[in-house]
Structures are given as structure tokens and as C-alpha cells.
Structure 1
Amino acid sequence: MAPSVERSFTAASTIEEAMAARRQGAAVLAGGTWMMRDPRRGVDLPEAVVALHRIPALSKVEIEPDHVVIGAAVTHAVLGRALHEAVGFEGLVAAAENAANPGIRKVATVGGNLCALDFAAADLAPALLACEATVELETFEGPKLIGISDFLKDRHALLAEAIVTRIHLRRDLVASAHIRLPLRKAGDYPVAIVSLAVDKDKRCRIAVGSVEPVARRWTALEQAMAADSASAFDPERAAGLALEHNDFQGRDGKEAEGWYRRQVLAPLVKRGVAALLKTGGLA
């Protein structure tokens, strides 16, 4: 018989309580939709966890004229509803409203989605990359702000001594879109994700998720579209540029092989640009 493990659970009511638990080695529990599946992946559950759902400040979406602040404990469902009428965040709303399935969206959180280290198919990561989000961390030394690209690249090290508390967004977008390709049906992990956002200067930001182990900006395509600004927002032309500037190394996985993930990017870009044009923000 396997030896029993004594586990501890802390429901923090303040960020200070959560950080105290982290100092004692507790893992952070957000919605639990990733951690609770650890045994199925052959990973032991942590012996100590600290939950964040009772910290009021982390469950709010604050919408101001020039910025938005999203608490790390905000669920996908709440995020989608909160930003539904916010111009420029159509892509982020689509990411929140179409990830996984309705049951998961009710409990899975923004912070948990970004902090699941081995989850390459997170919908919110590319959507927030396209928004050029800033991640707020609470560290043992105090609060820290970091751009989302750097956070995603360095999160293994950052999360060893920090908790994600909030996501900050500028309201500088006029349109955005989020296009995902599930393998067969709703609820499947997407084999590829393309998020696009256009700012007030008509600059297009593009991010890709699920193709490589970590979501990232597609800077080669962004630069190509900027150089061809007269026709860059033509869906066919954008797809052609995507084919020419595909610099991704596709990851092999249960859902799809790497070559296929790369191959579908151009059609997803075409769909994404078409979706941007439908928002009215590019008129």
C-alpha cells in the first residue's frame, strides 16, 4: 500500500496570506482545472496548496477609459462577459468564450491559464500577447510589472517566487480577432491559434499559440504586413505573407504533428484578417 500523504490547504483572504503560504512552499491553486489533472499526467499533486479565490481584488475586472485591469482569479466566463462591449477586445472575448467547454470556463482563471507551464494550447496567452498585456506579479520583494512576452518566456523562474495577481491592458486597440483550430469538436485543445489586434495607428500585432511549446508574437509577419500596408488587410494577401514568413517550429503532440500546426497558420491568418474587417474598427 502506498504511504499516505498529509496535505494542507489554505484559502488566502489577502495577497499577504498567499505569499506567506508560498514562502512555506505551497503551490498556487487557481481554478484547479489544470492542477487536478496532474495524476492523469503522471504528476503528483502538491502536498500544500494556497487558493486565491477568496481575495476580492483578484476577482475583479476594472474597465477605465484608457486601461483595463483583470484580476488573476477572474474566470474565463466572467472575463468574456465583462469585456463583451469593450471595443478593441473582440479577440480576447473570443478567447475567453471559446476556450475548452462551458463547465471549464466557469472555473478556469486568467492567472491559471497563463501559469500552466506545460499547457501549450492556452487560449488567453496569444490573445493577451496581441493586446501587449503587462503582467503584475507579487514577489517576496513586492509588486513587479513585466511584459507578457517576457513573462511567458521566463515564467518557470518567475513563478518559483511569485504569484500572478493582475493583468494590465491599454485601451489602444480598434479591432482584434482570435481564431482557433480544434481538431474535431468543441472542447478539444486547439492545434493552432492565431490572435490579431490592430491599434489606433493601424499597426497589426499577431500572436500564435499551440504551435510551439510557448505562445509568441509573429514578428516576421507583423513586419511584412507593415511593409505592405496598402494591401496587408486583404485576407488573401495576408495569407500569402503568412506563407512567406512562417518561422515557426511546430511541436509534435497527441492532437497533431508539428508540420500540420505550421501548415494551418496561413488559413488561420486569412480567417483572422477577415474577422478583423467585420468588426468595423478598420473602417
Structure 2
Amino acid sequence: MIPAQFDYVAPATVDDAVRELADAGDDGKVIAGGQSLLPVLRMRLAAPSKLIDIGRIPELRGIREDGDHLVIGAMTTHYEVQRDPLVREHALLLALATDTVADPQVRHRGTFGGSLAHADVAGDLPAPALAMDAVMVVAGMDGRRSVPASEFFVDFFTTAMSPAELLVEVRVPKYTGWRSHYEKFNRVAQSWSMVGVAAMVRTEGESIAEARIGLTNMASVPVRARAVEEALVGQAATTENIKAAAQHAANDTSPTSDGNADGEYRSHLARVLTGRALTAAIG
């Protein structure tokens, strides 16, 4: 199907992009890598009057250190996140989760910020961002503001950004030396996660000192498996303790039922995949 007619602009700065968004109002859409938006346009599930292409704004690309944080530009591609040495050293969970996103073609075009702003509950990057306490920096007509990941995801395909705001960068705390793994379950290659588990642990000797676990597709937004985290802290890193803690993975979640899986099955998957993710992370 051919998309509905729209105007196209390609601003060169963040300020210009924000002004274009403000002028367009609810009829404007930002296009980054286009991997989520273009299929929606072709199916006419969205018909914006104006597309604002942010692909020509240099400020939105790249990965850098800023003290005890990594700063990832919103237009940085999945491919770049996968292979960046700073991400591998200080935020390994992001690299591992990005490895599972779609296929190489999508990872070369799709963007880190675009995936987060899309806020698909089955997307693979929101749960790691939540587990890592990432902070989204968004720009609007009144300037820039920082939104913690715990407040950024509001509902299905809905974030805390207004229609006139643009995601500029993501600030990720460094977790140097933490052990990480991302485990997902999907029916066929390249499909969205039925359930995914983003797990990070910090060990001291044979014991687990800290744990952070984010769940994909277990509610209308990514959620933390806090009951599992609490059950792990101070425990020996044994298979038995991991299995026992993983049984709490579905606590305080509200998985939906759809054509891929019902809520009860998703709860089962969360427990199984949490055990696998933690076992793989700890090694």
C-alpha cells in the first residue's frame, strides 16, 4: 500500500527539529531509522501531514563517556551500539540485547533512540534501559529535560514525551565488571519477543551482591523483577538459589494475552527465562 501524502523536512539542528515538531502539532511525526514508522505508513495506520527527518543532525549520533555515564545519541544505530568498545566494557547488557534485535539489515538502519521512543512493549531495548536506570534527555520548545526510564514508558507505544518533544540522547550509568545476559523467547527468527529478560548481577566472591532484572512484554511497559532481585542479594551464586529466585519473576506483572501467547504462558516463560538469563550471566 502507498502511504498518504505528507510534507517532508530535514532539519540540520535539534532546535530546528523541535520548531518543526511544534509547528506540525499532532500531525507531525519524527522519522529516524524508519524501521518502525515506514511499515505503519505503508499500511496507513498513521497518516501524518509532515515527516521530520532527524537523520542529518550530527549532534544526535555517537557514543561518549561523561564521568560515570555513557551518553548514547538517539540516532546511533543498533549496529554501532553492538560494536562500540565503551558499551561492551561499561554497559554490556545493552550490547547483548541489541544483538537480538531483528536482523543485520534492520540493525544497520534502526536507531537506539528510535526503538526506545517507539515504546513497543515487545521491543528488546526498553527493559535493559529500565534495568540500568537509563535517563532519557528530551528537547522541546522550553529547553531540555531528563526523564528516568522508570517514568519514560507510560503505556503501549506511549512515552512521557509530548508530541512537540524529541529524544536527543540516553544517559546510561556505567556497570563496569557486572555480568550480563539478555534472554528472549520468540516463535521464529526476527520476530518480537513473547517474553524477554534483561539480567545483570554483581558478584563478590561466591555471593551475589547486587542484581538488576528487566522484563520485556510482561505488562504494558517494561517492568523490573524486583522480587527476584531481592531474593538474590546476599545469596551464593548457585543453580539452586537462582532457580528459587526466578520463581518470583512474574510477581506484580500483568502480562497480556494475544495470538502469540496467553498471560499464564507468559508468566511461565518469565520464570524459565529469568533462570536461564541469570545462569548465563553468572556463568
TM-score by length of 1: 0.87
Q: Secondary structure at the match of 1:135?
A: strand
Q: Secondary structure at the match of 2:169?
A: strand
Match of 1:208 in 2: 215
Conservation of the 8 A alpha-carbon contact between 2:74 and 2:112: yes
Distance 1:77 1:254 in 2: 30
Match of 1:56 in 2: 58
Relative distance call for 1:73 and 1:127 in structure 2 (3 A) is: same
**Map 1:101-250 → 2, pairs under 5 A:** 101-117=103-119, 119-153=120-154, 155-173=158-176, 174-183=178-187, 185-199=188-202, 202-226=209-233, 229-231=234-236, 233-244=237-248, 246-247=250-251, 248-250=253-255
Conservation of the 8 A alpha-carbon contact between 2:97 and 2:182: yes
Conservation of the 8 A alpha-carbon contact between 1:235 and 1:269: no
AA aligned opposite 1:237? N
AA aligned opposite 1:177? H
Relative distance call for 1:57 and 1:225 in structure 2 (3 A) is: same
1:37 paired residue among 36, 39, 42 = 39
Relative distance call for 1:47 and 1:265 in structure 2 (3 A) is: same
Conservation of the 8 A alpha-carbon contact between 1:83 and 1:93: no
Aligned-residue sequence identity (percent) comes to 23
Relative distance call for 1:22 and 1:89 in structure 2 (3 A) is: same
**Structure 1 residues 175-225: Cα deviation after superposition (integer angstroms, max 9, x where no partner):** 221111112x32011110100123588311110012222111112222222
Match of 1:254 in 2: 259
Tell me how far 1:120 sits from its aligned partner.
1.4
Distance 1:203 1:170 in 2: 15
**Structure 1 residues 252-273: Cα deviation after superposition (integer angstroms, max 9, x where no partner):** 2232222211111122111111
Q: What is the aligned residue count? A: 270
Q: Higher mean Cα deviation, 146-155 or 10-19?
A: 146-155
**Structure 1 residues 150-195: Cα deviation after superposition (integer angstroms, max 9, x where no partner):** 0112754523231110000121342221111112x32011110100
AA aligned opposite 2:38? M
AA aligned opposite 1:172? Y
Distance 1:141 1:85 in 2: 31
Q: Secondary structure at the match of 2:194?
A: strand
Taking only aligned residues, the RMSD between alpha carbons, in angstroms, comes to: 2.2
AA aligned opposite 1:53? G
Distance 2:203 2:54 in 1: 36
TM-score by length of 2: 0.87
Match of 2:19 in 1: 20
Question: Which runs of 5 or more residues in structure 1 are unaligned?
Answer: 279-283
Conservation of the 8 A alpha-carbon contact between 1:195 and 1:207: yes
